Each structure stands twice: as C-alpha cells, then as structure tokens.
Amino acid sequence: MIKQIKDSLRELFLFFRNPDDKPSSNQTLREKSLKLFLILILDLAIASLFALVLSALEKQGLFSMENHKIIELLKSMPKGVVFISFIIFVPIIEELIFRLYLRYKNNYLLRLIVSLFYVAGKNRKERIEKQIKKVWYKKYGYIFYFSAILFGFVHIFNFNSDKNLLLLFPIITAPQIFLGLFAGYLRVRFNLIWGYFLHAIHNLVLLLPFLLAGNSIGLLNTDTNEYSIKIEEVFQKDNKQVAKYFPDSVYFQNYKLKDIIAYTSKMDNWLIEGNNLGKMNQILNVGFKNKIDSNSVDRQIIENELISLYNFKIENKNRIDSVWTIFIEDSLKLNQFKTDSIKGNYWSYSNDSAIIHRVNFAGIALAIQNSQKKKVFLKDNIAGRFNIRLNTKNLKDLRMELDSIYGVSLVESIATIEYLNMNFENKE
C-alpha cells in the first residue's frame, strides 16, 4: 500500500514536470480510486493552506471575501438548488470547457479546423493534421498549464471588483489553479469523469460548512470574563424579526447591520447613511451579555466588533433639514384614547399604517417620526398612555387625522439634524 502511494505521487509529480497527452494503461479501478483519493487529500490541503493566507490578507484589509458569489447565491436561492448546481452541474460544465480538449482526440475545435482543409485535398489535410499534432505534442506542457491558469483566472469573477484583485490574482485563485492541475492530470491519464469526481468532491467539501450552518454562519463568538458576544451572518432571512432587551443583555435576530448600528449609537435608523447599501442591509443575528454588570449593556463593544468585521468608520454630520413640532390642540380628544392597561408597549408598522398601544405622548411622536422618516420634536406633553392608529400612507391624511381625531397638530420648521454616516472601506 505504501509503495503504491509513493509510486502514485512520484508519477503525479513526474507528469507535472513534463505533461504529455498519454493516457495510463492497465489501471484497475482500485488503482484509479487510490490516485483520486491521494490527489483529493493534496488538493484540500493546498486549499486549506491558501484559505489561511487569504484570511491573513483579509485581516490586513488587502482583500475581502464579502459578497463572494457563493454567499450571494446562498442568500437568494434555496440551499438545495445551490448544492445541486455546484456539486453536479457546475463541475460538469467546467470540466467540459476546461479539460475536455486536453486530449487531442477529443479536441473538437482543432479537429474541425483540420477537417476544413479537406477541401484542399486529402493529402494536404493529412499534412496539416500532422503539423498540428507535432506542435500539440511538442508544446503540450504550455497547453496544459495554460488550461489550469485560465481555469483559475475565471474564478476571480467570484469576487467583487477590488483594486488589489488583479494584483493578488495568483494567490486568490491558487486553490482553483491547483484544482485545474489535478483535474487535468486525472482527465489525461484516465478520462473526464475522474476529473469531474475530484471537482465535485472539492466543491462539496468547501460548501459543506455553509450547507450545515443552517440559515447563518458564525462570524464572531467571543466569551470573556467580562462579556460574551456572538455575531452571525444570515444567508436566507425568514420573515420574523426578533429583538429582545434585558438589563444586562440584548439579542437581535434577522436585523440589518444598519439597524443594529442605530441601536448602538442610540439613533433612529432613518438617520443612518452610508456609502455601501449592500453591507448596510446585511442581515445579522447578534447577541451580547454583560457578565460584570447586571444592569447595563455595553453598546460600544457591539459597535466596535461590527466595525472590525465590516471595515467601516462612523462619522457624525450635522445638516439643516425640515422637521416637525407636535402640539396638543385638544387634550379632551386625545384623552379618549387613554388606556389604564399595565401591559408593555406594542408597535406595529405597515406600508400604510402605524398601530401603537400603551405608549406615552413621546411614543406617538416617535411613531410619526419613524413612519415619515422626519424628525419630530415635542412642544407639549401629557400624562398617561394611549392606543393610537395612524394612517401613514398620505401626509395630508395623517395631519388631518391627527387634528380631527386625536386633537394633535404638526407644525413644520427648520432645524439642524445630526446624521450618522457609515463610511465603508470598500464602497458599493
């Protein structure tokens, strides 16, 4: 067994020193399977090594795996479809495009070119074919390595455009280049199906963590004596958003990065701007617990970890903008909607309405502000909690409803508003 392994590896490296278009003869299924297994181990070891290198480059800000095409597909397509595509269809198509022609007898483009010379006579056709074969076998090493490099290069389009992408191309696509070399060897020595097997298993192993991760994959899981924090990136968001607040902890499920930054910075999310909407709208699960103080949540720790993971800076900017001030014109009307219930607040927003139960007057102002994305200041106040339903689709109807039903009016003015800008290193 050990001798077989040594002989297989020696034959592999001799082939790479001088590739030739010659299939292996008298290879049993067991011998072919052993070579496939050995090559698979080499391929995955090399892929793992370069994964560490890419991780180091990413930490230095030279490269980003964010919005890799596979991750984007996992966000937009069912996992079963992604699995079938990348384990069955993609390897078949790529093997046909990049490896089928590595055997002269299956290089149908060259054979078509040769056949075109048939009109010039059989003898001329045979001379042309002989010359083409001579060049093919003499320069086969260049053809073989070009195929592997081209295979690696096309995978650069799996990543977002970046100024360092072409510069780092040999490192970024090295796993695919080595896969191209190994699959090319199997294609030449055995046949196309063995290269497909390697390609499919390679994709399966690399996709497995994503496929087993549920709808999310962990980005950070830190547990210290002072606090614990967990951040997951969601691939396929369900319809349920959950936010749980406790004196010493907080948990967000299916929340946008922008909304979590709004929480950490204590700002309304519509006051959050940025230069990369895709990243700002990335869906996350975030959990934090304070272990040394049972009465506080350190929002700054959450914010710092998100800044580190997504590589952005926060800048506060002031801008003169249109605002509203809310006045109580008729407290008798408003008091008709007062409630004595001791249950917690209830907030519900849709495209055309806002339903709020058991909120104070400031909560009414906040509901108007959130639905209209416009700052609302309190001029008056009134004791108690209220159940309110607002028509938020049309501003004119909203103002009329506030005045006629709730005895409240909105007066427009100008004020300086503070906005928060998320300035990402990689712009959209």
Does residue 407 sit within a domain? yes
| pLDDT for the residue 213 | 66
Residue 239: domain span: 216-310
Q: Is the pTM of this model over 0.75?
A: no
Q: Are residues 393 and 290 in the same domain?
A: no
Q: Which of 196, 211, 226 is the last residue of a domain?
A: 211
How far is the CA of 351 from the CAs of 105, 362, 371, in angstroms?
Answer: 63, 22, 9
Does residue 427 sit within a domain? no
Does residue 426 sit within a domain? no
Does residue 71 sit within a domain? yes
Q: Are residues 70 and 148 in the same domain?
A: yes
Distance, in Å, from the CA atom of 204 to the CA atom of 208, rounded to the nearest integer, reads 6
Q: Are residues 273 and 332 in the same domain?
A: no
| pLDDT for the residue 133 | 87
Q: Are residues 49 and 156 in the same domain?
A: yes
Q: Coil, strand or helix: which one is 412?
A: strand
Q: What domain count does the chain have? A: 3
Does residue 195 sit within a domain? yes
Does residue 60 sit within a domain? yes
Does residue 377 sit within a domain? yes
Q: Are residues 247 and 363 in the same domain?
A: no
| pLDDT for the residue 226 | 94
pLDDT along the chain (428 residues), means of 10: 82 93 88 93 94 82 70 76 91 95 87 70 76 90 96 86 75 94 96 96 88 75 94 75 89 92 90 90 93 93 93 92 92 92 80 86 88 87 91 86 93 91 82
Q: Are residues 279 and 335 in the same domain?
A: no
Q: Are residues 95 and 205 in the same domain?
A: yes
How far is the CA of 341 from the CAs of 162, 191, 346, in angstroms?
Answer: 56, 76, 12
Beta carbons within 8 Å of 242's beta carbon, 6+ residues apart: 251, 252, 253, 254
Does residue 315 sit within a domain? no
Beta strands in 50-167 (DSSP E): none
Q: Are residues 262 and 341 in the same domain?
A: no
Q: Are residues 157 and 268 in the same domain?
A: no
Q: Are residues 262 and 370 in the same domain?
A: no
Q: Are residues 204 and 112 in the same domain?
A: yes
Q: Are residues 105 and 232 in the same domain?
A: no
Q: Coil, strand or helix: which one is 224?
A: coil
